[in-house]
Copies of this chain bind each other. A is one copy, B any other.
Amino acid sequence: MPVVPDFSVSPTQSLLAGPDVDLRQIDPSSTPGFEGGKEAGKARLAAGKEVLSELQEKLFAESRFGSDISVLLILQAMDTAGKGGIVRHVVGAVDPQGVQHHAFKAPTEEEKRHDFLWRVRRELPGPGMIGVFDRSHYEDVLIHRVRKLTEPEVIEERYGAIREFEAGLAGAGTRVVKVMLHLSKEEQKNRLTERLERKDKHWKYNPGDLAERALWDEYQQAYQIAIERTSTPDAPWFVVPADRKWYARIAVQQLLTDALAAMQLSWPKADFDVEAEKERLAAS
């Protein structure tokens, strides 16, 4: 058996982005804590699937015996940064029964009539589940800030509301892992070009994407501020360099694995007499 390359430093340490984060200092093409290249990364991803999968099953199993803990992975990024690939290749490795995935789109009329956290509360993971948000309540301080969809004072209040909301989640047993996939503007151009060159990718392209791209610097600033204001020990942000898809995938896989491992999960003990059940079964 070949040795599977591992992180020298876990992304849980190396990619943690606290209030003192400076996005401009983080190279989107870097691979912090991982010395190998693409092939080593693929081997790492494959090897990590079983570890993650077993942890997820334990989380699920415990919930059947009364535990109400859960995990919530929040994915935020510019277009083409690879949220979909994370869902497919990292989240896709665990049992679909244990995953609650939700992609947040532009809010509906009904959603607009409520507080911005209303629709998010409705999609929180149940006990034993891994929730995955493809976009989230952070859109309400990102695109809303860049596009001036909301008054600045209201946006200021939202950072506090988010901190309080997420602290409540943590208090109720939900481990929150927030990921910004950090892409370079150049790599986005490459990926958009690919979408235009391949007929099976045209459906993923939207002419409106270029309008967002034109506001690149404003979005970077909005992310910078959002992370500064909302990264807490209870609900930390991780900035994941995303120009190399393989790196972003193994990094998020490891973040999830570490989050689950920290929950100290174990197989629930039988609440029945195993030997007696064996006899009943044999006689059936």
Q: Which residues of A contact B (CB under 8 A)?
A: 61, 64-65, 84, 87-88, 91-92, 95-97, 99, 101, 103, 132, 134, 189, 192-193, 196, 199-200, 202-205, 207, 210, 213-214, 267-270, 272, 274, 277-278, 280-281, 284
Contact = CB atoms under 8 A, between A and B. Distances in A.
Given A210-B281, A284-B213, A200 B88 contact: no
A61 B284 contact: no
A91 B101 CA distance: 14
A202 B87 contact: no
A256 to B, nearest CB: 13
Contact of A97 (B134, B192, B277): B134
14 contacts: A84-B95, A84-B97, A87-B96, A88-B95, A88-B97, A92-B92, A189-B284, A203-B267, A203-B268, A205-B270, A205-B272, A205-B277, A207-B277, A210-B284
B92 A203 contact: no
Given A96-B92, A272-B207, A196 B281 contact: yes
Given A61-B203, A268-B202, A193 B281 contact: yes
B92 A101 contact: no
State the number of copies, please: 2
Contacts of A270: 199, 202-203, 205
Contacts of A87: 95-97
Nearest to A283: B210
The 10 A-B residue pairs whose C-beta atoms are closest, nearest first, are A202-B270, A61-B203, A203-B268, A200-B267, A88-B95, A96-B101, A207-B272, A196-B278, A92-B96, A91-B96
B203 A65 contact: yes
Contacts of A192: 281
B96 A96 contact: yes
Nearest to A274: B196
A180 to B, nearest CB: 19
A193 B97 CA distance: 24
A271 to B, nearest CB: 9
